[in-house]
Amino acid sequence: MALGYLALVLHAHLPFVRHPESDYVLEEEWLFEAIIETYIPLINMFEGLEADGINFKLTMSMTPPLVAMLQDHYLQEKFDEHLTLTQELAEKELDRTSTHGHLHYLAEYNAQCLETVRETFERYDGNIVRAFKKYQDSGNLDILTCGATHGYLPLMQMYPEAVWAQLKVAVDSYGEAFGRAPRGIWLPECAYYSGLERMLADVGLRYFITDAHGILYATPRPRYGAYAPIFTPTGVAAFGRDYESSQQVWSSEVGYPGDPVYREFYKDLGYEAEYEYIKPYIIPNGTRKNTGIKYHKITSRTGGLDQKDLYDPYWAREKAADHASNFMFNRQRQVEYLHGVMGREPIVVSPYDAELFGHWWYEGPWFIDYLIRKSHYDQGVYQMTNLADYLQHNPTQQVANPAQSSWGAKGFHEFWLNDTNSWVYPYLHKTTERMIELSKREPVDEKEWRALNQAAREVLLAQSSDWAFIMRTGTMVPYAIRRTRSHVLRFNKIWEDMNQGKVDTEWLEKVEYIDNIFPEIDYRCYRPL
């Protein structure tokens, strides 16, 4: 009889990046790399577990922008091209390495992995959302939704209509993709503020996740810390993240991903290969970039890039199995202890960015696979569950008000509100105010209806918290700035035109084609509550 639960939560998210108007946009490759290294390996993992008769339980969030991109034909085609190009490079590598035993072994391994990606992609006809839907329908995956464009809700709390729109549009788009209403939501960055629970209840959602101190600092004080969810006064449940299991995975210094036998992220063929050879496979203007083909292992946590030895997937896999055992062992001790103190079954909630597994930590999906299998076969202290199942079977919980918090650095909003990115908020707020104004209108004809809806799309896209995040981390900043500016300016044009009673149809068509997220959006979701 299990003493408690472990709920692994994978948050899969990328901002909406789609540029049919340009020949080549590097940022579209965020999606392609994530598909090859994270999403398809996860699907393969599900298929393997299913084939072996393991009734696995996992919680995943799939954000509306990610789902929109995965279902978009243009991006599916671009991905196909990208994959073809990468496979071509992998083929060439087979030739290039034919005289070097170890390298050739790795080249064959890489080519084989890419072929598996191709097969999986084609098995679902290019739309891998179908795979995730399949495993939700079978009861294994609990797929959460998220804010419509991953907007940072506490920093728009003074505009409840904007928060409502992020939730409503998300819930509607989820229904179209997955054929049912979502039950749970991954709040963007787990950022919560008091009052959100009213809207979550009213949009039909049942539970969400906060960082540990969102529960720990709740009022009144939760009896069980963050190891049982609490019901907010509106009945919506809040789960708290477990610190302990987080650190073992996130920390690059002491966590699993930094182990010397694992594949080195920074040593990529795109940078190592001879220029003329690699030129067709990097950025068209000649600048080098990641190709996803790598041959080296980390070798040492402190060594330089020129001191990396060759990788061996066999040993890496063994190590992933070890780490899974270790993780499992720690969870067992944790659950035993908590059960003793609580006098009831604890639930340890371990959420991570999905893209951590496979992309940053190449062996990550193997780790999860081993963890699920070992938890299933080798122990009985805890059972792995997803959040929906847990609530179904445990409907009695303490009532309390969670505390405003996020899972960002330092636990609050600073990462998204600081010198690098505070400049966006005056524009976002003004845009929001104007959208609320616009929403009160009734369109006189179809063109106005389209313009109003497009205005809503522009507001949502501008609100992606990813832009502020990128500005703060310092990687690919110009792109984030450009996106913020574009969407605010496009919105402003519609606003100004509408105030003069006109619609620039030719321009509108172009923008509708580019910013085509949420085709079924209804701008009236911005109307005052």
Report 162-181 residues binding another protein (CB under 8 A): none
Point out which span in 39-47, 87-95, 138-146, 483-491 binds another protein (CB under 8 A): 483-491
Nearest Cα neighbor of 375 from 434, 329, 420, 412 is: 329
- Segment near another protein (CB under 8 A); pick from 51-59, 88-96, 234-242, 311-319: 234-242
155 touches another protein by CB under 8 A: yes
Alpha-carbon span 308 to 408, nearest angstrom:
32
Q: Answer for the pair 262, 298: CB distance below 8 angstroms, yes or no.
A: yes
**How far apart, in whole angstroms, are the C-alpha atoms of residue 450 and residue 142?**
34
- What token pair was written down for 184? 């749970």
Residue 22 in the binding site for another protein (CB under 8 A): yes
Q: Does 442 interact with another protein (rule: CB under 8 A)?
A: no
CB of 314 to another protein, least distance (A): 25
Q: For another protein, which is the closer residue by CB, 22 or 500?
A: 22
Interaction between residue 74 and another protein (CB under 8 A): no
List of residues 6+ apart from 95 with CB closer than 8 A = none
Interface of this chain with another protein, residues 252 to 281, rule: CB under 8 A: 252-253, 257, 265-266, 271, 275
Candidate residues 53, 101, 286, 501; the one interacting with another protein per rule CB under 8 A: 286
Of the residues 123, 180, 441, 510, which one makes contact with another protein according to CB under 8 A: 510
Binding piece for another protein, criterion CB under 8 A, among 137-145, 324-332, 335-343, 443-451: 335-343
Which among 100-108, 168-176, 369-377, 505-513 is the span making contact with another protein, rule CB under 8 A? 505-513
Closer CB to another protein, 213 or 376, in the complex = 213
* Greatest distance between any 2 Cα atoms in the chain: 72
Q: Which of 4, 58, 71 lies closest to 357 in space, CA to CA? A: 58
Q: Which residue, 112 or 475, has its beta carbon nearer to another protein?
A: 475
Nearer to another protein, 49 or 461 (CB): 461
58 vs 348, beta carbon nearer another protein? 348
To another protein, the closest distance from the beta carbon of 211 in angstroms equals: 5
Within 138-260, residue ranges assigned H as helices are 160-178, 196-202, 212-216, 243-250
**Bridge pairing between strands 58-62 and 141-146:** parallel
390 φψ region: left (φ > 0), alpha (ψ -120 to 50), beta (else): alpha
Instruction: Among 102, 221, 440, 502, indicate the residue that binds another protein (CB under 8 A).
Output: 221
Contact assessment for residue 460 and residue 518, using Cβ atoms and an 8 Å cutoff = yes
State how far the Cα of 257 lies from the Cα of 246, in Å rounded to an integer. Answer: 12
Structural contact between residues 18 and 75, judged by C-beta atoms closer than 8 angstroms:
yes
b vs e for 402-432, b when ≥16 Cβ sit within 10 Å of the residue's Cβ? bbbbbbbeebbbebbbeebbeebeebbeebb
Quick one: which of 85, 310, 444, 476 contacts another protein (CB under 8 A)?
A: 476
For 11, the 3-state DSSP assignment is strand
Q: Which region, judged by CB under 8 A, interacts with another protein, from 80-88, 105-113, 247-255, 317-325? A: 247-255
Residue 323 touches another protein, criterion: CB under 8 A = no
